[in-house]
A and B are shown apart, each in its own frame.
Chain A
């Protein structure tokens, strides 16, 4: 009896020792040396894995930081300057200062709502609707309104507005860029938040010629170039019948906003205009553009 137990113990013991030796050798041979700094950096990151930095996740970002040794070209948008400072401290390098950014929806809601030219009752997906037709507004560059961007946002910072065009909550937006990537028409752009959170942008992506664009939407940019002429900073360029304001040059003087005949240029974050004592005609004549309402046609697919 004791003999049997002894044999079992010896065999198992010998096997244990054998495997331990094998495991030791293998562990030595395939040893992966990982910088403990990576863990420390990953610890201070927000851990949202949003991919806004262009890396596969927060850990990949930490690995890139440590491998590089500094933070040049690397920025965690959700973390902002606070996280950048912590990471820089760990790495022992200068703090990468970045201008805080925010997502901006470059489509004007004016033409949506009751002025729809068709009703879409297919799959609620912008990516799909984009392959089928122009969308309910009739503008081939405009927002499709199915909310692919809303689904993509991990920070609950973008919601469908009352006009069927998404509205960004600037306080929650971390500028990770997920919505911009999700939009099949590339309407959403990341722009600098600007001083005092004041920013001016062209809220249109329509590249059609003036008259055609106007048919698509009353508030379309018609590429007239008036804004570019009036801009003191030469921040505005017009390409393919579409104006674009370079946010690195713009000083938010708002001259272009008043100049734009179709109200395609929007200003955000400015205080509401004070009530003027004398009644002045507010709207310029060019604003009133009649849109021919096309036949209402349902859309299958």
Chain B
């Protein structure tokens, strides 16, 4: 079975919410839609206080290159347009909407029929992705229309769909595969057409045998889609690692996947691409996992964007257990702890993960014993212990020479460190310093 060549770790999988079918979360009374739910500049609000909006109506317009449209996830009246604190307590521009009824835009096809035919030209597909505000749902929320506009002189050869779901606990992609396999495959075919590539590969880790079998059955009805089972290893779902696992190619330092002819897309993105292109439905919903070892029940939900963490917790489990140490958005390896549970969810949120007090706390840091485990674990072939020392001593130039910017912040070094050194934190600090240094030089 294929996997990536260098490094990697195998954290406890904890996929305890695997069997929970996707439920629909009811809409709350008020929604707060943040304007920067994607990588890049925030969208510009185009509604004002008192405006009536429908589900799927454009409320934030992308006016710069690195930006994505934002649509209303609910119908109702705009209460105000002012900053709201996000999950980390930082104020972000937002639109507050008072929910009234559930009136959708007429253009959106809400029938359950599956539409297979897509007559759009590649350029039209990309334009529609932009219009519908589609972003990558693998975590980075990179605007899809930019990714699928291949720059002049470069050619895509492979489309790789990331269904590895290598993060512990997360099961939203797994549930999508089990329940919406056909839609996903149509989405993949649309993206394949947009790129003009002969084959698309869906990489699935072998700890999901049911999903592999189901997908292999479904792709028989599609041309040029191949299911690629992968050996379980974290971070298989990282772009560069997945390319290496599926094609054997290596993205050189500082280059992008397209430089080796690859485009990687998350499975959840393919599903939202299907909905956007075939059903005219903008990205207004997230599929997310509510899980945790100490929770009474495990869930997978389809949630309107803008629902707060507190609402999700209240609906799914009532209240947080007494022993809660952290609430994490994302998996245990790369997810971020949520500080403000009153914050709205945004595009790309994949989970509400509740971790107990004992598990949540970091162990005490001790001195580096030069064992080199972090080097063996690093999937990018870097030297985390070295960066730790260089950053501490402010030797930023040297850190850059040792390719600190190649770090994908997967957390393997910290995970494997017997001295519990916060290596990933140190590297992230170092990367910020390197970027600041490079900006100052310009």
Contacts and interface: CB of A to CB of B under 8 A. Distances in A.
Contacts of A118: 337, 339
B339 A299 contact: yes
A88 to B, nearest CB: 34
Nearest to B362: A121
Nearest to B325: A298
A49 interface: no
A133 B89 contact: yes
Interface string B326-343: 111000000111111100
A134 B88 contact: yes
A297 B324 CA distance: 8
Interface string B52-93: 000000000000000000000000000000000000111100
Given A118-B337, A123-B426, 9 more contacts: A128-B426, A132-B88, A133-B88, A133-B89, A133-B90, A140-B89, A297-B338, A299-B326, A301-B425
B361 A138 contact: no
A153 B90 CA distance: 29
B326 A295 contact: no
What are the nearest 6 A-B pairs in CB distance? Answer: A134-B89, A123-B425, A133-B88, A300-B337, A298-B326, A128-B429
Chain A contact residues, majority secondary structure: loop
Interface of B: 88-91, 320, 324-328, 335-341, 355, 357, 360-362, 422, 425-426, 428-429, 432-433
Contact of A138 (B89, B336, B360): B89
Nearest to B428: A128
A294 B327 CA distance: 14
Contacts of B429: 123, 125, 127-128, 131
Contacts of A294: 340
A117 interface: yes
A104 to B, nearest CB: 25
A208 B336 CA distance: 25
Contacts of A127: 429, 432-433
Interface string A116-156: 01100111010110011111001010000000000000000
B335 A300 contact: yes
A208 B91 CA distance: 9
Nearest to A118: B339
Contact of A128 (B91, B328, B362, B425): B425
Given A131-B428, A133-B90, A134-B88, A122 B336 contact: no
A133 B327 CA distance: 14
A118 B325 CA distance: 10
